[in-house]
Amino acid sequence: MNTGDYKAYISAETMMGPDSVRILEELLHQYPLQVLPEDQILDLGCGTGLTSLVIAKETGAAVIADDLWISAEENEKRFVRWGVGGRITPVCENADNLHFEERQFRALISIDSYHYFAGTKGYFQEKLLPFLKDGGEVLIGIPGLQDAFDGRAKELLSPWLSGEAHLFKSPRHWRELIGDSDRIDTVKTWEMDCFREAWEDWFASGHPYALEDRKYYESVILPYTCFVGIYIRLKNHSTPSNHQERTV
């Protein structure tokens, strides 16, 4: 995919932070999803549905777009206006209490939202893993703390984030929080490459929150933070493996 193909959809109206389309582009480039039109993908914490639009167009699969802060009705109107109303189903559910079918999704994607609700060990196995098919994949891109400053989020980021500084964790820390399971084959976490570009797109949007973030970019955001990429692949139990890859 190419972020430029979605330039017309990226604006202060649809952005809720650094460019989610650019973050998604890097994830899909590194780990292209192998999905069929009949497969379903959960876009968890979809915001205004910008990432859901991209997922639907790039994969051809059906998308369930879930967000707690933006109503399903509001997103549905946007999807219809964008011409993808028949391919994306908007819902408004709390990520701590999702009501989907067991092993419903071939993939789960979460951009710039996972850190708000998944920062405790065991969350992934308890709250999300049951909804994923065997052989399923997970792509997550979230703001975080560079590995070099692991455990110092409150000290370094409080001037910018105040009480939300604790939500920022390093790639290494997120690997620990994902944990292990007899269904998980691979977990990889890393500092993403699109950091500067995604922030520049956010600043260029003119959103009031972007103007506030810009004040802290050079002093706090750039030296201490990153975007954390997370990739999870589940075992396909039709071809079991005794090896579980653990990479940070």
Q: How confident is the model at residue 70 (pLDDT cuts 50, 70, 90)?
A: very high
What is the Cα gyration radius of the chain? Answer: 17
pTM: 0.94
210: in domain: yes
240: in domain: no
CATH of the domain at 171: 3.40.50.150
CA 171 to chain CA centroid, nearest Å: 14
pLDDT of the residue at 11: 94
238: in domain: no
* Order of all β-strands in the sheet with 62-66: 88-91, 62-66, 40-44, 105-111, 132-145, 225-234, 184-191, 245-247
Round the average pLDDT of the chain to a whole number and report it: 94
245: in domain: no
59: in domain: yes
For residue 96, which of 113, 109, 112, 111 has the smallest C-alpha distance?
Answer: 113
pLDDT of the residue at 1: 87
Q: How confident is the model at residue 228 (pLDDT cuts 50, 70, 90)?
A: very high
Domain assignment of residue 189, given as a range? 3-233
241: in domain: no
pLDDT of the residue at 234: 98
Burial of 137 (0-12, 13-18, 19+ CB in 10 A): buried
pLDDT of the residue at 238: 52
Q: How confident is the model at residue 237 (pLDDT cuts 50, 70, 90)?
A: confident
Q: What total number of domains does the chain contain? A: 1
